[in-house]
Amino acid sequence: MAHPYAKPQRAPTTYNDKYVVLYDFGDADHNEAIDEFKTLLQDLEEAGLDTEVRPGYDQSLLVFVKAPRELLGHAVHKSRVKDWLYGIIPNHPGGDKNTVVKGDYEAEDILSVYHLVNWPKDLGGAGITPGIGKWERVKSIFPLHNTEVNQSLLRHLSKRIFLAPEDLDSIRDLLGSKVAFYFAFIQTYLLFLSIPATTGVIAWLWLPRYSLAYGILTSVWCAVFLEYWKITEVDLSLRWGVNNIQQVKVTRPQFKYDKSYVDKSGRTHYYFPKWKQISRQLLQIPFLLFAMIALGTAIVSVFAIEILISETYAGPYKFYLEYLPTILLAVSLPYITTALEDAATWMTDFENHRTADLHEMSLTQKVFVLNTCTNYLPIFLTAFIYIPFGDDVVPRLEAVLQKLLATVGQKFVHVPFRVDSDRLKNEVIALTVTGQLSSFFEENIMPLLKHKLSGWYRDYRESRSQEATLRSIVPDEPNEAEFLARCRNEATLPLYNVQDDISEIVLQFGYLALFSPVWPIIPIGFLINNWIELRSDFAKISIEHQRPAPVRSDGIGPWIYSLDALTWLGSISTAAIVHLFSADKFGNGSWAMLPVTVFISEHVLLLLRVLVRSILHQAGSERIREDRNQRYAHRVRHLEEMEATKRAGLGLSVAERERRKSILVTGNDVFWTKQVEDGASEAFGVDLIRQIKRGEDSSSREPKID
Amino acid sequence: MAHPYAKPQRAPTTYNDKYVVLYDFGDADHNEAIDEFKTLLQDLEEAGLDTEVRPGYDQSLLVFVKAPRELLGHAVHKSRVKDWLYGIIPNHPGGDKNTVVKGDYEAEDILSVYHLVNWPKDLGGAGITPGIGKWERVKSIFPLHNTEVNQSLLRHLSKRIFLAPEDLDSIRDLLGSKVAFYFAFIQTYLLFLSIPATTGVIAWLWLPRYSLAYGILTSVWCAVFLEYWKITEVDLSLRWGVNNIQQVKVTRPQFKYDKSYVDKSGRTHYYFPKWKQISRQLLQIPFLLFAMIALGTAIVSVFAIEILISETYAGPYKFYLEYLPTILLAVSLPYITTALEDAATWMTDFENHRTADLHEMSLTQKVFVLNTCTNYLPIFLTAFIYIPFGDDVVPRLEAVLQKLLATVGQKFVHVPFRVDSDRLKNEVIALTVTGQLSSFFEENIMPLLKHKLSGWYRDYRESRSQEATLRSIVPDEPNEAEFLARCRNEATLPLYNVQDDISEIVLQFGYLALFSPVWPIIPIGFLINNWIELRSDFAKISIEHQRPAPVRSDGIGPWIYSLDALTWLGSISTAAIVHLFSADKFGNGSWAMLPVTVFISEHVLLLLRVLVRSILHQAGSERIREDRNQRYAHRVRHLEEMEATKRAGLGLSVAERERRKSILVTGNDVFWTKQVEDGASEAFGVDLIRQIKRGEDSSSREPKID
């Protein structure tokens, strides 16, 4: 358990053996709260867990939970045996049903405590599911941060340029493989970014704008990166012993079943018909179509209004009106997005996924589709509508507007419209640079401010209030005060969702895949951003979020499909942009040949991907081979044990040979009795060969055999 | 072992326990032959096998091999244990290292005998590898046909319209899963064909030529069929307990390694560097490109000459000259194809695949690419060159030819060229109908004739010869004569290669996927052809081939990729044909929009495939679920055994509770000692809630706690 970055612990209070259950009875009445709380403690104790209760902020109680050494050690062992049974790790962990072990790293212990608290009773847990069903007032369950290791690891990460595999191991040891895979992903991406960053600067300095060479290079780079990451993912999942871990995942408590039945072995099955699940999932398609149309309409209208005002309007209040569309978008988009995200959440609940992983992924993917719309649509509009057709479309829009204004007696004062050919670049710059900056602010600064402010407000309220607080009833003991303050603080922090962070990187990858030739120095910006992002995300988890349960996963899940789709779309979009813009002309010939260019680019890149994939797949990795060898050696050992006594034939005793002969002779097939004596078959054949070959040599017939 | 279609066996001679090793010493001298033959028999006996030798045709010996009951039974059991170790079957077969079992079906026993004869000595076999290395004179090793079961099964199949899963089981029982998968494939395809057969007739009767609706329908049908087959394949592989069987496959004897080393556990590893394997496999790309260009050039030239002569030439000898190109093609193509196939064989050897499966597949795929060229290229030429550009291109070709002829003083008498717009249809009809007929002839009639003729010739030769034959030296015993005649006959039959048959069906599928709108009644022809093909192929294996070793496989292997590729190409080709031909005009507009049509069709079908795949994947099959449940139940049983004694917490003895408390108290973390007594945590929390809630109710402060 000795953590490479941990300093010797100072206090008698240890952090990493405590799991916290936050119970908030603010909205319950007296009896209800007491009953619920009693049940909570009973359930925890029934699962064999030790508890200590301390007052929290406002009307909340912090229930500290600890798994006794034996229970925890057995849970860890059982989890390993389960992994082995599911073929996730190649070898049985050893030991028997009474074995008690210590987790190899902090997260392994914490994960087992999490399971003891969270898993349903029939799996040996206490069944505490925060916010769900009868545990609606359990606001959260979380392990405490290991502040010292957090800090030393953060210091260590800040000093290194690139992370070594051991650094990723440290993150895994602390936060579990699901979070560690995010860091592995951003790290691999960061390393790969150095290539387009370099070529991007070269392209920016010396190559023409919308360079074909740079476009091809980036598309190829996307494909290679993606295939390389797929191998890395498998490699890491083997390193961490979590390959195919999704098989082990338990049913989430919200899963609804139509009926349950008991099979002949006495096991209860929960049945939810496949066709229902499929038809519900199919609803995603109309939903996403609708959502894309809704978002699309909003974005297109704002886009149109913005262009009309900023580029053709010359009337009064232009200065103010110019900001109108941005304000419109800023005001309306969050509403639309929130409404759609709510709908997506409802949809995902309705889809009724069996495991929490599947649920989370389905939701994240929906939100991601919405995000791609918001992020990429303005650029697509600029590239493929505004710039090529602006001269046609904008005056017409203007005419419509003028008519509209005329009906209300207004007049549209305008300047002649000319397409702003830099708009594409500006749009990309605006969306990437400001996007990165604002997301940094939203992720890191905002929550911190919000958290601080709400803390101040709570203190202020309490100091003015006449009512008793829990903490005033039972003041903290001096030696616990600092510790409890920390716990109360962590209890107010939000949950960490690693999908949001992955989503951000995938979105960034999308800019590169889709629009790289527009502004070739994007990658170097991304490189710098991500170098910081990696460290700041680690700091964010340590400071601004509750420590996540160290859940395991064997990669970044369905984001692979998103990356695949973006790479594919990229081969189309990049080709189209280069084709249309590098000539700086939009004649008919150019448009006519566009589908051909796109067709060629798309298919060449598809073939290339197949090629890269099969090469990398063949090459595999050292660890993949090692895992295969281990599994193989295990099997061979087993079979050799079977073989040991069983080399038949030679070395049989005389008695055994006679017995075998007698079996042949007494069998009902006389065929096998002709040459049953030792060497009879051989003698017969040799004699035949001899006669023929002698006959051949002397050309005379000697038909004789005994 | 009771075969559902077997009649009670008549003779004392059983067939299905005999494996035949055919040793031909015709080209060896006296001593060499005797030494080799002795080694052969010694190796067989060392592996524990019983042998009987009988004279064969010419200078060959039939070595009959039988595995004694114990050896065979143990080999079968060991193979099952191995399957379990590799996770191919969910449950351990039971028994221990001395267990002897009977195969569940004929092929299981025969497969084990095959392994005993064929596998290398360190795996417990005799290491007899026909035609390879020192066993060059072992012409073949094969099991004997079970004629009665063959015949009754063939009768049964001929009576049924569609095969039931049990019929496929019967084929598997007799010939092993690799062959059975071919029949399952053609059967599934046959069932699916009924849809395009019906719609094809409708389209032919009532829809316009090159109908869009029919094209879309067929493309969608291709995608659905393919995805359905993928699921069926998994389902069947679970039914037959062979899912992922390729993991079990042993190294083929021709595999060359760069070096071998012994690892720390004493196991020998054979090392062939990955980079070598990959770079050798990459050579496939230039090879296939070259082969396609070579074939393409041949086909294009013949195509051009044929058009010139048949459609523009009006000079003398036209009648004879018209046949010239066909003869040219018929003469030259086999040479080219054979040369390329030889090259492909050499290439595949050079690629040095580890298992026989991989080798076979790599070779078959190469040959398939060549086949597609020969089969589809003429149609592509007709559709996309000849018909649209014929009026431009042909006169130019004619001019070139006239110049050429003028230099030798000849004159080209011609009629004005007019594109024959029916040529596309005729080309498709010629290639499909005559293709099916000629392949039926080549597969079924030709080999039979050839076999009969060579038999007659051998008899004739022997009757005229002065020399002794083996059979004249040792005349057959009367009760064995009939049996031995059969065995000698089977020994002269060729090997059966299931890949050839699959290739034929895949090629047929390709016609449907690529060119269906050209002549919409193709599918009904295919339907009838395949109904016969299925039965005639079974008859062909029974009569015209040595019984194949019942090798196992979990599907039709990489043919899936070929089908995938054809479906994909189909979405492009079908769209292009419908787009160009349905308008019956080849104006510029039509060509300009072609890429757009293709682009839309391709991507809509890709999306559709993703959709169909995910739906079918979700739906799975009953057997896939059952397999999962079985594996799950096995794990749960194991874990419950672990759990049995381990429900901690409740029900602890007083002594145990005291012990636990004392551990908490003596630990160095005082935090956990505060509420160590039973119910102390609960009492503390309840008291807190009570005070706050009472305070809330009465709005007065009662800060008291005990």
**Looking at A244-248, A288-292, B334-338, which range is the least confident one?**
B334-338
The sign one gets for the Cα dihedral A280, A286, A289, A293 is negative
Mark which of A352, A381, A400 sits at the end of a domain: A352
* CB pair distance less than 8 Å for B684 and A98: no
* Digit-coded pLDDT (tens) for B367-385: 889 888 888 888 888 888 8
Q: What is the pTM of this model?
A: 0.85
Distance CA B277, CA B348 (A): 11
Mean pLDDT of A685-698: 74
Q: Structural domain tally of chain B?
A: 3
Mean pLDDT of A67-75: 86
pLDDT, position A703 = 43
Residue B415 has pLDDT above 80, yes or no: no
On whether both B48 and B197 belong to a single domain, the answer is: no
On whether both B60 and B35 belong to a single domain, the answer is: yes
**Looking at A379-393, B4-18, B589-603, which range is the least confident one?**
B4-18
Nearest CA in chain B to A121: B647
The sign one gets for the Cα dihedral B425, B427, B428, B429 is positive
Helical ranges in A311-445 per DSSP H: 318-351, 356-381, 387-407, 423-429, 435-440
Strand ranges inside B93-234, DSSP E: 138-143
On whether both B508 and B599 belong to a single domain, the answer is: yes
CA distance, residue B684 to nearest chain A CA (Å):
7
**B595 touching A (Cβ < 8 Å):** yes
Distance CA B345, CA B366 (A): 9
* Digit-coded pLDDT (tens) for B307-346: 777 777 766 677 777 677 767 776 777 788 888 889 999 9
C-alpha A493: how far from chain center = 22
Nearest CA in chain A to B26: A693
CA distances for B241 relative to A3, A533, A611, B70, B91, angstroms? 46, 49, 32, 24, 11
Distance CA B201, CA B199 (A): 5
Residue numbers of A between 179 and 218 with CB closer than 8 Å to B? none
On whether both B598 and B557 belong to a single domain, the answer is: yes
* CB pair distance less than 8 Å for A45 and B650: yes
In a domain, A272, yes or no: yes
Query: Which of the given ranges, A342-351, A633-642, B15-24, B679-688, has the highest pLDDT on average?
Result: A342-351
Length of chain B: 706
Residue B649 has pLDDT above 50, yes or no: no
In a domain, B691, yes or no: yes
Residue numbers of A between 67 and 96 with CB closer than 8 Å to B? 68-71, 74, 78, 81-82, 85-87
Distance CA B383, CA B576 (A): 9
Cα three-residue angle A419-A424-A426, rounded to 5 degrees: 105
Indicate the residue of B97, B684, B691 with minimum beta-carbon distance to A53: B684
Three-state DSSP class for residue B260:
strand
In the block, tokens 């401010």 appear at: A449
On whether both B180 and B119 belong to a single domain, the answer is: no
On whether both B319 and B372 belong to a single domain, the answer is: yes
Which of B476, B688, B696 has the highest number of chain A CBs within 10 A, making it the mutation to test binding with A?
A: B688
On whether both B102 and B240 belong to a single domain, the answer is: no
CA distances for B289 relative to A629, B295, B333, B371, B373, angstroms? 36, 10, 17, 14, 11
pLDDT, position A115 = 92
* CB pair distance less than 8 Å for A649 and B45: yes
CA distances for A650 relative to A647, A673, B21, B554, angstroms? 8, 19, 20, 36
In a domain, A691, yes or no: yes
A261 contacts on B by Cβ (under 8 Å): none
Range of the structural domain that residue A77 is part of = 19-143
Range B493-519 burial, b when 16+ CB lie within 10 A, else e: beebebbebbbbbbbbbbbbbbbbbbb
B698 contacts on A by Cβ (under 8 Å): none
The continuous run of DSSP H or E covering A50 comes out as: strand A50-55
Predicted confidence band of residue A663 (pLDDT cuts 50, 70, 90): low
Contact B125, B253 (CB under 8 A): no
* Digit-coded pLDDT (tens) for A449-491: 998 898 898 888 888 877 777 777 888 888 888 888 889 999 9
In a domain, B263, yes or no: no
DSSP-assigned letters across all residues of B612-641: HHHHHHHH--HHHHHHHHHHHHHHHHHHHH
pLDDT, position A307 = 79
CA distances for B201 relative to B150, B206, B434, B514, B678, angstroms? 36, 9, 20, 18, 83
Task: Sort strands A19-24 and A60-66 into parallel, antiparallel or unpaired.
Answer: antiparallel
Mark which of A109, A143, A177 sits at the end of a domain: A143
The sign one gets for the Cα dihedral B146, B149, B153, B155 is positive
Which of B21, B30, B38, B52 has the highest number of chain A CBs within 10 A, making it the mutation to test binding with A?
A: B52
Indicate the residue of A66, A636, A692 with minimum beta-carbon distance to B59: A692
CA distances for B344 relative to A615, B38, B251, B361, angstroms? 20, 36, 21, 12
| Residue whose C-alpha is closest to residue A604's, from A323, A331, A216 | A216
Helix, strand, coil percentages for chain A (3-state, nearest 5): 70, 5, 25
Distance CA B530, CA B544 (A): 19
Contact B53, A675 (CB under 8 A): yes
Mean pLDDT of B413-438: 77
Q: What is the CA radius of gyration of chain A?
A: 35
**A137 touching B (Cβ < 8 Å):** no
Phi, psi of A551 (to 5 degrees): -65, 150
**A250 touching B (Cβ < 8 Å):** no
Mean pLDDT of A610-621: 85
B483 contacts on A by Cβ (under 8 Å): 671
For residue B59, count other CB atoms closer than 10 A to its CB.
21
Residue A583 has pLDDT above 70, yes or no: no
Predicted confidence band of residue A412 (pLDDT cuts 50, 70, 90): low
Distance CA A88, CA A93 (A): 12
Distance CA A672, CA B17 (A): 11
Residue numbers of A between 459 and 478 with CB closer than 8 Å to B? 466-468, 470, 472-474
**B66 touching A (Cβ < 8 Å):** yes
The sign one gets for the Cα dihedral A607, A612, A613, A619 is positive
In a domain, A579, yes or no: no
pLDDT, position B665 = 61
N- to C-terminal Cα separation, chain B: 80
H helix count then E strand count, chain B: 25, 6
On whether both B164 and B79 belong to a single domain, the answer is: no
Mean pLDDT of B432-440: 80
Contact B116, B75 (CB under 8 A): yes
The continuous run of DSSP H or E covering A259 comes out as: strand A259-262
Distance CA A201, CA A523 (A): 9
* CB pair distance less than 8 Å for B639 and A78: yes
Residue numbers of B between 397 and 436 with CB closer than 8 Å to A? none
CA distance, residue B62 to nearest chain A CA (Å):
9
ipTM exceeds 0.90: no
Residue B610, both tokens: 């993703």
C-alpha B41: how far from chain center = 34
In percent, the amount of chain A with pLDDT more than 70 equals 88
CA distances for A394 relative to A293, A315, A416, angstroms? 22, 17, 10
Predicted confidence band of residue B403 (pLDDT cuts 50, 70, 90): confident
Length of chain A: 706
On whether both B185 and B309 belong to a single domain, the answer is: yes
CA distance, residue B688 to nearest chain A CA (Å):
7
| Residue whose C-alpha is closest to residue A98's, from A78, A112, A68, A128 | A78
B641 contacts on A by Cβ (under 8 Å): 97
On whether both B371 and B434 belong to a single domain, the answer is: yes
A699 contacts on B by Cβ (under 8 Å): 467
In the block, tokens 């919000």 appear at: A450
Residue B475 has pLDDT above 50, yes or no: yes
Indicate the residue of A45, A50, A676 with minimum beta-carbon distance to B672: A50
On whether both B334 and B478 belong to a single domain, the answer is: yes
| Residue whose C-alpha is closest to residue A353's, from A267, A421, A256 | A256
**Looking at A14-23, A585-594, B135-144, B186-195, which range is the least confident one?**
A585-594
CA distance, residue B145 to nearest chain A CA (Å):
17
In a domain, B262, yes or no: no
* CB pair distance less than 8 Å for B29 and A74: no
Mark which of B585, B614, B629 sits at the end of a domain: B629
The continuous run of DSSP H or E covering B262 comes out as: strand B259-262
Distance CA A285, CA A538 (A): 36
* CB pair distance less than 8 Å for A675 and B598: no
**B41 touching A (Cβ < 8 Å):** yes
Where residue B207 falls (left for φ over 0; alpha for ψ -120 to 50; beta otherwise) is beta
Phi, psi of B413 (to 5 degrees): -85, 125
Sheet strands side by side (includes A50-55): A50-55, A60-66, A19-24, A138-143
On whether both B501 and B414 belong to a single domain, the answer is: yes
**B634 touching A (Cβ < 8 Å):** yes
Predicted confidence band of residue B696 (pLDDT cuts 50, 70, 90): low
Range A174-190 burial, b when 16+ CB lie within 10 A, else e: bbbbbbbbbbbbbbbbb
In a domain, A189, yes or no: no
Amino acid at B67: A
The continuous run of DSSP H or E covering A680 comes out as: helix A680-698
Mean pLDDT of chain A: 83
In a domain, B119, yes or no: yes
* CB pair distance less than 8 Å for A68 and B641: no
Distance CA B171, CA B161 (A): 16
Nearest CA in chain A to B634: A85
Helical ranges in B4-146 per DSSP H: 30-46, 69-85, 106-118
Residue A477, both tokens: 């003991």
Distance CA A152, CA A170 (A): 11
